[in-house]
Amino acid sequence: MPTSMVVGSSEDDIAEALTVARQLGDAVIVAYGNVNTGSLAEYGHKVYHVKADDPESVFLAVKQVYDEVKPSLVVAPTNKNLKDALSRLSGLYDLPMATEVFNVKVSGSSASYTRGFLSGRALEDDQVPLPAVLLIAARKVPRAQKSQAKGEVVELQASPAVKIIERRPKERGGVNIETAELIVSVGRGFRSKEDLKLAFELAEALGAQIGCSRPIAADLKWLGEDHWVGLSGHKVAPRLYVAIGISGAPQHLAGITDAKVVVAINNDKSAPIFKNCDYGVVADLYQFVPVLTKRVKERLHR
Amino acid sequence: MGDIVVLLKPALNPEMIRGTQDGSVDFDYMPLKLSDIDRNAVEEAVMLRDQYFKGSKIYSISVVTWGPASKRDKDVKMAVQEGLAKGVDEAYIVEDDSIVPGDPVTTASAIVAVIRKFGLKPDLILAGEATIDGFSGQVAGRVAVKLGLPYVSFARKVELKGNSIVAERDVEDYVEVVEAPLPAVVSVTREINAPRPPTLVQIRMASRKPQHMVKLSDLEGVVTPKRRLAAARVLAVKRKQMIIEGKTPEETADKLLDALASEGVIKA
Ligand SMILES: Cc1cc2nc3c(=O)[nH]c(=O)nc-3n(C[C@H](O)[C@H](O)[C@H](O)COP(=O)(O)OP(=O)(O)OC[C@H]3O[C@@H](n4cnc5c(N)ncnc54)[C@H](O)[C@@H]3O)c2cc1C
């Protein structure tokens, strides 16, 4: 009897979750949406597939497989639709559920893990009895290997009560900030949308992507949400993160804990970002950033 | 028709984090406050009531998860009071040391038990997408499934149309407009509205509104797994904190670039 169930909508997500799940032995896969089930079957586990990708359909499919397999562990990536779908599964059977976990260790009776806590200002080491549901943090776990055997593929149907009327893709600035090596990030210190060009010019000179704090994407909408860094935005791990006109609220810092080097440019020497950066420049961004850009151009491109 | 229940959590205030000597989080000394996103949920409840069902009531339910209850009482009352000042009519507070520290399993079952025990018949249950301490966003989904209600998560816009709710769900890559029959459970994001601070008059009136204190012995079906307090340590990301200064902006820029080059993060 398989002891774990893995849920996901992309091969990357599923392969990472499998690494955690295989600690307990055999697993089944519940894949949803538009995925290549043939490729997934090559991991050697039985694949259940539901075409729909709304959280209610995913919940209904997951519940069906859960009832059949009765796994001790459910592993999935952390994202909004899976928080929705798996919180319902957890609620139905009163299972403990934890999100954005890493360092997961599973034994026969319990799972231990680490996760961010208190808006990213603390880490908690927790342990839950099995059966449990774990949503793992992205890219903190290696991918599982494919196997010789090919798993069977079973198609599932779901009929949700919530009706989808329309779906519009979000405007994408063409960035994938989570994998960017260099990031120039902008905050409320910029007085207008036009002024962001100072940061764009620096980013271009460095070959960096543009990131931003929440107000820039959520309130002012000067940039698309794919640029948004932080607790409720994207977690980034660049070599270099340059925070310009960003105060350094804990919810912003929660997104940059994995950055190698953090540079802060801010005109308020008591801004919390200066306690959370490697190199700080206390200056008016309007004066300093153009000079920095000019020197980068001269030094990098001469 | 048209009553609303809004879930309000007195959460640990991350801004007031305290560490002990060995770097672990000192839970006893951290104050609680109304979780930020729950503020958006209560604002939305008030706006929906005013727009669609005038005269109906807004109830709030709070489950105290951080104890001991006696020590948290003041913070809890303040958080609940804030909801009442914003327009909640009656508050239910589940305060019982036997569920402390609480967890989402317990919290969801306690919320459902309150709804059943006091015969609340909400058309809508609103919650924040997540709370600022745990940020795992699972209580609303648990409540929905336990009550057998449709669940709409991460709503950044909500309207009522006849006996249905039409909401814009904010997912990572897309926005999805969905329609669900009422009664339903909805979790909202911070983008849904800009919470208005209560007026002085509202604050004064809030203290006269009913607050029902509920003990576990009053409730049926609350699941209380034996939870230990997780070991939590204050996250200290070690940064160099070097302030770079020069006589001119050019000199500062050069010093900064030298530092970055010596770190190997740029080639200048
Ligand atoms: C539940 C929750 C989740 C959140 N999630 C996120 C998140 O994911 N990401 C996020 O970023 N925030 C998030 N926030 C919001 C966060 O708390 C802060 O409000 C936000 O990060 C502030 O953005 P900021 O630093 O750009 O703006 P501000 O805090 O307003 O800072 C602007 C800074 O610019 C400086 N400045 C002004 N003028 C100049 C100038 N001419 N030159 C140089 N510097 C200048 C100021 O000194 C100041 O330090 C969240 C909040 C909550 C409650």
Bridge pairing between strands A97-106 and A132-136:
parallel
- Between the CA of A198 and the centroid of ligand 1 the distance, in Å, is 18
Contact B244, B135 (CB under 8 A): no
For the record, the structure tokens of B164 come out as 């249905």
Contact A223, A233 (CB under 8 A): no
Which position has the token pair 């342990």? A127
Interface probe, candidates B103, B106, B151, B174, chain A, greatest A C-beta count within 10 A: B151
Strand ranges, E, within chain B: 4-7, 10-12, 32-34, 58-63, 90-94, 124-128, 151-161, 164-170, 174-181, 184-188, 211-214, 231-234, 242-243
Q: Is the pLDDT of residue B236 over 90?
A: no
- Between the CA of A268 and the centroid of ligand 1 the distance, in Å, is 13
Q: Average the pLDDT over each of B38-47, B50-59, B177-186 and give the range with the smallest value.
A: B50-59
Strand, helix or coil for residue A183: strand
Phi-psi region of A292 (alpha: psi -120 to 50; beta: other; left: phi over 0): alpha
CB contact under 8 A, B174 and A163: no
Mean pLDDT of all residues belonging to chain B: 95
DSSP state of A301: H
What is the Cα gyration radius of chain A? 22
For the record, the structure tokens of A175 come out as 């960035």
Nearest residue, CB atoms, B138 vs list A83, A206, A282: A83
Q: How confident is the model at residue B39 (pLDDT cuts 50, 70, 90)?
A: very high
Closest residue on chain A to B138 (Cα): A87
Count the alpha carbons within 13 Å of B28 in the hemisphere toward its beta carbon.
Answer: 2
Contact A223, A212 (CB under 8 A): yes
Instruction: Name every chain B residue with its beta carbon within 8 A of the beta carbon of A168.
Output: 174-175
Residue of the nearest CA to atom 41 in ligand 1?
Answer: A284
Global ipTM? 0.95
How many whole angstroms separate alpha carbon B80 and alpha carbon A77?
34
- Between the CA of A66 and the centroid of ligand 1 the distance, in Å, is 43
Contacts of B201 (CB under 8 A, 6+ apart): none
- Between the CA of A246 and the centroid of ligand 1 the distance, in Å, is 5
How many whole angstroms separate alpha carbon A184 and alpha carbon B266?
13
The interaxial angle of helices A285-301 and B249-263, nearest 10 deg, is 50
Angle (CA) A105-A110-A115 rounded to 5° is: 50
- What pLDDT is stored for residue A301 in this prediction? 77
Mutation to probe ligand 1, out of A119, A196, A214 (largest number of atoms < 8 A from CB): A214
How many whole angstroms separate alpha carbon A60 and alpha carbon A62?
6
Mutation to probe ligand 1, out of A183, A228, A231, A235 (largest number of atoms < 8 A from CB): A231
Mutation to probe ligand 1, out of A193, A252, A284 (largest number of atoms < 8 A from CB): A252
Which position has the token pair 């002012």? A220
Measured between CA atoms, how close is B69 to chain A, in angstroms? 20
Contact B88, B79 (CB under 8 A): no
Torsion angle (degrees, nearest 10) of CA B39, B41, B47, B49: -120
Residues in chain A predicted with pLDDT less than 70, given as ranges, are 1, 173, 302
Angle (CA) B210-B40-A135 rounded to 5° is: 110
Which of the residue ranges B177-181, B229-233, B234-238 has the most confident prediction, judged by mean pLDDT? Answer: B177-181
Measured between CA atoms, how close is A113 to chain B, in angstroms? 10
Q: Is the pLDDT of residue B9 over 80?
A: yes
Sheet of strand A182-186, all strands in order from the earlier edge strand to the far edge: A209-212, A182-186, A240-244, A261-266, A279-282, B242-243
Measured between CA atoms, how close is A151 to chain B, in angstroms? 30
- What pLDDT is stored for residue B28 in this prediction? 87
Instruction: Name every chain B residue with its beta carbon within 8 A of the beta carbon of A92.
Output: 145-146
pLDDT tens profile B193-223: 999 999 999 999 999 999 999 999 999 999 9
How many whole angstroms separate alpha carbon B239 and alpha carbon A116?
18
How many whole angstroms separate alpha carbon A187 and alpha carbon A227?
11
CB contact under 8 A, B137 and A232: no
How many whole angstroms separate alpha carbon B114 and alpha carbon B123?
16
- What pLDDT is stored for residue B23 in this prediction? 92
| Helix, strand, coil shares, percent, chain B, to 5 | 35, 25, 40
Helices (H), B25-119: 36-52, 69-86, 104-117
Contact A271, A291 (CB under 8 A): no
Q: Is the pLDDT of residue B227 over 80?
A: no
Instruction: Name every chain A residue with its beta carbon within 8 A of the beta carbon of B180.
Output: 161-163
pLDDT tens profile A136-195: 998 889 999 999 899 999 999 999 999 999 999 987 767 889 999 999 999 999 999 999
Measured between CA atoms, how close is B125 to chain A, in angstroms? 15
CB contact under 8 A, A299 and B257: yes
Nearest residue, CB atoms, B108 vs list A91, A164, A260: A91
Contact B19, B234 (CB under 8 A): yes
Measured between CA atoms, how close is B96 to chain A, in angstroms? 20
Strand ranges, E, within chain A: 4-8, 27-32, 46-50, 73-77, 97-106, 110-117, 122-129, 132-136, 153-156, 163-169, 182-186, 209-212, 240-244, 261-266, 279-282
Q: How confident is the model at residue B267 (pLDDT cuts 50, 70, 90)?
A: confident
Residue type (1 letter), B217: S
- What pLDDT is stored for residue B60 in this prediction? 98
Q: Is the pLDDT of residue B268 over 80?
A: no
- Between the CA of A119 and the centroid of ligand 1 the distance, in Å, is 14
Q: Which atom of ligand 1 is nearest to the CA of B37?
A: 1
- What pLDDT is stored for residue A302 in this prediction? 63
How many whole angstroms separate alpha carbon A115 and alpha carbon B97?
25
Measured between CA atoms, how close is B208 to chain A, in angstroms? 33
What is the Cα gyration radius of chain B? 22
How many CB atoms sit inside 10 A of residue B54's CB? 8
* Residues within 6 Å of ligand 1 by CB: A 187-189, 213-215, 229-233, 245-247, 249, 251-252, 255, 266-268, 271, 284-286; B 36-37, 132
Q: Give the DSSP H or E segment for B138.
A: none
Look at the pTM and tell me if it is higher than 0.80.
Answer: yes
Instruction: Name every chain B residue with its beta carbon within 8 A of the beta carbon of A263.
Output: 256, 260
- What pLDDT is stored for residue A1 in this prediction? 61
Residue type (1 letter), B228: R
Bridge pairing between strands B32-34 and B231-234:
unpaired
- pLDDT, mean of residues B66-82: 94
Closest residue on chain A to B102 (Cα): A96
Identify the CA nearest to B267 among candidates A186, A302, A276.
A302
Closest residue on chain B to A240 (Cα): B265
Q: Is the pLDDT of residue B1 over 70?
A: no
Percent of all residues in chain B with a pLDDT value above 70, rounded to a whole number: 99
For the record, the structure tokens of A62 come out as 């997951």
Residue of the nearest CA to atom 2 in ligand 1?
Answer: A251
